[in-house]
Every structure is written in structure tokens, then in C-alpha cells.
Structure 1
């Protein structure tokens, strides 16, 4: 049987590396918005009672809205509490030009280019939190272009996650006020209740926890010390709290005390939870490397966006760690739905004035929206709360 020889030129062309695939689209313009959202009432956790911080009165938001040459749009956000909002906004303004003209599908490439553009101030902290807003917007755009909720684009394991409320459990509220708010949350379909502890008088912590456990019966119940115990006090308190059948004890130690958290997680039956204050994958991996066996609580806006969140989530799943992302349920519901084991999502209603849509909650679960992308559009109130904007590109 005769065969036709391949011409040398054609063979060379076939062997040559092909150009990278492209959507044919480019980022045309990006608008940043610096938004100050007042809270209805100031709230205090243990950091206030120990004199380390002032009561929280507002959340400062950094929004990114981007448009491509093909007319596609994406929206993302980051946030700060008490300090850092102006710094996030200023940092992103300095490096944003790098993103203009890039293919919006090259999310990891864009993320790295912005991190290196601002690397002189480090690749954690304010730098990552600023870039996070753009990273989230790029994922929102990608899912909108596909016509899918973000969770479905990433590959969901479930359509809903367990949900618990935190906003009703702060320390400035009396036990009776917390009971009333807990009842309202449960009646609204929320499954678990978290309250703050870590006061200078540990006996008062136990009094409040006892009262709330009696009020909740055997329902899911968590406590959060907001990093206010040293190692000795943390061990004593974890021992005292074992009898309350808690879902977890959160941040008993300084957020950077990886060894201390790892020790507690291997010592007590009640799970330990931490991670919300960490601002890079490397900081989170410090917990894993120390032998931590508790619940990890990465925060996508703090860790640097969805790109690094997914990197760490893959590693956390490999180590069989449970997940309970911190705050920003509008983003974290999608990410939690992609985790192999069912996580908890934290419910805060504080950001509701900024978004037109509401998330479905019932029977102790919070449900992934069926709308494309994150599934949220910005309100006129968000525009009225904007104190500064900057636009890049056409």
C-alpha cells in the first residue's frame, strides 16, 4: 500500500508550538469605587473589651466593575473593618493599569501580574486584599459569560450549604438581646448561632454561653474569642467549653499562633476554627504545616481573591480539613458549594443595602443563586455611599 509523504513544510508547521488560546476579548475599562457603609448600631467583640480596638461602626468596601471590548461585565469587591479601606483603594489604583488590555479569561496571569506590580509592599495584607476585588470581578465575568452561577462554573458539590448567624451575637448586646436575635435568625431559616466570648472576665463568658445553650437547646452553637486568650487561658477555656457540645471554638489564640492552634485542635474534642485573619496562602499553610486538625476559615477578600482561595481550598481538602469561610457570604456561598465536604457559611445581613438581590435561606441552609456569576447587582444606595471613584481604560 502506498502512502503519501507529508511535505517538510507541513510537518514543521505541525510540530511548531501553537499560540495560546484566547477568547479574542480584552479588558477595556475598570472602575473602582471606595464605599463607606455605616452599621445600624456599633458592635463590639472581645478586642474592644480588652482595649485593643474601638467598637465597629462601619464597613469600608472596595468595588471593582469591569467591562471588556466585547461588552461583557464583571463585579467584585473586597472590604475592611476599622482601618485599611483607604489603603486598599489607593493600592489598587496604583497597579490597575497592568490589567487593562489583558484577556479577562487569563485570571491567574492577571492576578500574578498585579501582585508583582505592587510587590514592593509585599504579597499579603493590604496588597492581596486590594487585588482580591479585581480577581473576584474576573470570576464573576467568566461565569456570566458562560451563563452559569459561579459555583456551577467552578464545579459544585452541592446547591446549598449549612448556614449560621454571627451578627446577632456581639458583646455589646445583653444576653436577652442575643436570645431575641437568635430566635429571629432561627425563625428565618438559619441553622446555627455564633456568639462572641473572650472577655476579660472569663466567668462572664461562661455565664453567657450557659444561657445561650439553654435557649438554643441542642441546636448548632459556636463561640468566637477573636484571638483574645493566651495559650494557658485558651486551654482552660476550651476545657470548660467542652460540656456545651459546640460546633467549634473560634480564634482562641492570636491568628499567627499556628503551633498553639494546632495543639488545641489535637487536644480537645470540640473542633477549633481559625484562619479568617490570614492574608495569603502561605500564612494559611503555616497552620497545616504545624499539624492543625481543626476547621479552616479562609476569607476570599482577605486571602487575595478567588484564585488564592481555591489554591488553599485544594490543599485543605487534601488534608481532610473542614471549611467555614469568613464573612462575605455573597462570594463564599459559591466557593463553599465547591468544597468536597459540606462547609458552614457565615450569615451577615450587613451588606444587604449594597445589593439588589437576596439569598434564599431556609431549613438551616443557604442556597446558591441560579443567576449567572455571583448573582448580584449593585443598588442605588451603594452609589450614594460611594465617596470616591477612579476609572482606567477607555
Structure 2
């Protein structure tokens, strides 16, 4: 009988090969939120994706990703290229130590923002590998509290969408088993926002979960007025009514109004989230794992939020956040965005208002051939085993 191959012990495994790829995902329709209508940004036409693929001497592999909207994608890729060689020969189990090593490799440009977003792709890939090696979905590796998570749709509620189509989109989302609807607000003419929210609330009924998102475009007096007006619509939350760094202003709104305040998606480090939480500036904390630098710092944010008794609603990237939300003690929300689906061969399922946690090991996704065709640059170090 032939001998059974012996897998090297985990502690003897070393990172042998890493590839980073810069992929640009085109959007079917230019996307506009309040930042476009106030003239601060252009409509979004594509999303830059930074992929990291890691393989080890023991034959294990993992994939991770980060992203950037409108600008910054080439910068993330450039920084990833500069630091990727620091991973070669390292033990892939030492994820926290490797995060610190990569962070300090580029510390002169800061320990938040673009530099740590580049690290995020590597960090996610290492966690994906660790879960695959254990034969577990990432949520189970982290310690899941549930097998499905409440989900809400955002992609159908942008400001470029006419009201009639908005109502169609909400119906389609409900038919897909999605459990909530989020509308973009923050237009220069507040009356238009009120009209749209009123129409959608009437269309959905009094109790169906409805959220709004001003994308940081109100000043304090406007936010005060709009939060007061929106109290009548029984909203799950009002998102980013103020600039993301205005912790005092958000805290005042959270203390004054019954409708919960949500913010945090634009913060780019665990330290920035710690300040938000210290100020009690949100009822719902909205960390984005790729933006804060991956799963390792995300877990720090989640620990702080849980200790403070806050609710959690991770931003974007549902393919990753469904796992992280499933591991949060309090019942969270996950944002349903189908935009990234063409990047992967697998699809997430929704039913009865919830997103099902994949049962496949790791993240449960693999990079599609379409994503390979959209890739503009690649860089490799090491040798594939």
C-alpha cells in the first residue's frame, strides 16, 4: 500500500508565494450619492479591487481583498508591492504579528488610510487560509453566534435613481428575501429627501425596516432639523448625518433623538473607531474591514463596540462582513450590495430578511475569470510550492 502523504505541521508551514493584483470592477450605471450632488465628488463608475493570494510550503492557500472607490486604487496596489516581500518565509499563523510587521514597514506614511488598506488584503487572505486549514467557515473559526444575519439593501436607493424606480427596487429587494431598505439622502434641497423617504415608507408599510444615509453632507443645524423630521418615519437608523470625524456632533444627535445614529464606515483605523466609541458618537458602529486594515483590526473595533453595548452594522463587502457580523454577540445588520458579485464564482443567499453564512471553508469565495480579465496589474514574490 502506498504511503499516505504527510502534511507538514502547522508550525512548520511558511509563506512561499504571494501575488497582488489590481482589478477594476466597472459599474453598470454611474452612482451618485449626496457627495456628488454637493459637488464634492464625481459619480462613481468603477471600484478598484486589491486582491492578495497567498500560498505556503505546506500547500495551504488564502485569498483576500481590499478596495477603493473613485480614487486610491493604484496607490493601494503600489504600497502592497512595496511591502509584500516582508511576508516571505513567515509563519502564516502569526496573523497579528504579521499585521504589525507590515504596518511598521510603511509607518512613515501613517498607520491608517491607504497604507493599512493595502495591508487589509493580506490580512484577510491569512484569515481565509487559517479557516480553510481548519475546515471551517470564517464565522465558525471566529466563534459564530448565528448562521444568518439580518441584511438590508443599499444599491437600489441611490440619489440618481428616480422615485418610481426606487419603489420598484424596494419591491425587488423584498422578493429576494432582503430584510431592510436604505435610502440615500443629503440632497441640497431637503424637501426632496423628505418626499422620497415619505413615499418609500408608505410603499413599505409602517414596520418594514428602513434606514437613511446622508453621507456626511449635513451641517449641525441641518442635521438637527432633519433628524427631528425623520423621527416620524420609524427608521432603524440615520447614517452619517455629519462629517465622520465630528464625534461631538454625532454624540449630541444620538443623545437627543429616539432614532439611532449610525456612523464609522469612513474611519480607517481601530484607533479612530476607539475615539468614536469613547465619545458615544453612534448607536450603530459601522466598521469596514478592508478600510480599517483587515479582519485583525476589525475584531478590535468589534470588541470595543460590544463592551460599550453598541450595535454593529459593517459597511459594504458583504462577502466578508457576513462572517464577521455572525460572530458579533448582539444581533447585527449586514449591507447587501451585489456590486462585487462578478468578482467571485460563488453567491451569497438571502431568505426571510437574512443573509445566510456560507458553509464553505474560509470566506467561501474564489476569484472569477471575469475578475482576472478586469485585472490591470499583477506583482508576485516567491515561488509557488
Match of 1:146 in 2: 134
Q: Displacement of 1:262 after TM fit?
A: 1.0
Kindly indicate whether residue 324 of structure 2 is the aligned counterpart of residue 323 of structure 1: no
Which of 171, 184, 188 is the equivalent residue of 1:196? 184
Q: Given the alignment, which residue of 236, 247, 251 partners 2:240?
A: 251
> 1: CA distance between counterparts of 2:367 and 2:80?
20
Q: Is the 8 A contact 1:161 1:345 kept in 2?
A: yes
Gaps of 5+ in 2: 1-8
Shift of 1:292: 2.6
> 1:277 matched to which residue of 2?
266
**Match in the other structure for 2:366:** 377
C-alpha RMSD of matched pairs (Å): 0.9
Equivalent in the alignment of 1:240: 229
1:349 aligns with 2:338: yes
1:85 and 1:168 map into 2 onto residues whose CA distance is 25
Partner SS for 2:339? coil
Alpha-carbon distance in 1 for matches of 2:10, 2:147: 31
Tell me which residue corresponds to 2:287.
298
1:279 CA drift (Å): 0.3
Give the 3-state SS of the residue equivalent to 1:350 in structure 2: helix
* 1:235-270 per-position Cα deviation (integer Å, ceiling 9, x unaligned): 110000000000000000000111111111111000
The higher radius of gyration belongs to 1
Q: Does 1:214 align with 2:214?
A: no
The structure 1 segments of at least 4 consecutive aligned residues displaced by more than 4 Å after TM superposition are: none
1:22 Cα offset (Å): 6.0
Verify the 8 A CA contact 2:262 2:282 in the aligned structure 1: no
The alpha-carbon deviation at position 364 of structure 1 amounts to 0.1
CA distance in 1, matches of 2:159, 2:284: 23
Q: Alignment partner of 1:207: what SS?
A: helix
Q: Distance in 2 between matches of 1:182 and 1:205?
A: 16
Q: TM-score, normalised by structure 1?
A: 0.94
Correspondent of 2:382 among 359, 369, 393:
393
Structure 1 residue matching 2:12: 3-state secondary structure: coil
Per the alignment, residue 312 of structure 1 pairs with 301
Match of 1:179 in 2: 167
Give, in whole Å, the separation in 1 of the partners of 2:10 and 2:289: 27
Q: Deviations over 1:166-188 (max 9, x none)?
A: 00000011111111011001000
Matching residue of 1:4: none
Q: How many residues align?
A: 374
Structure 2 residue aligned with 1:39: 27
Instruction: State the match for 1:16 in structure 2.
Output: none
Gaps of 5+ in 1: 1-20
Give CA-to-partner distance per residue, 1:13-62, whole Å, 9 cap, x none: xxxxxxxx962100000000100000011110000000000001011100
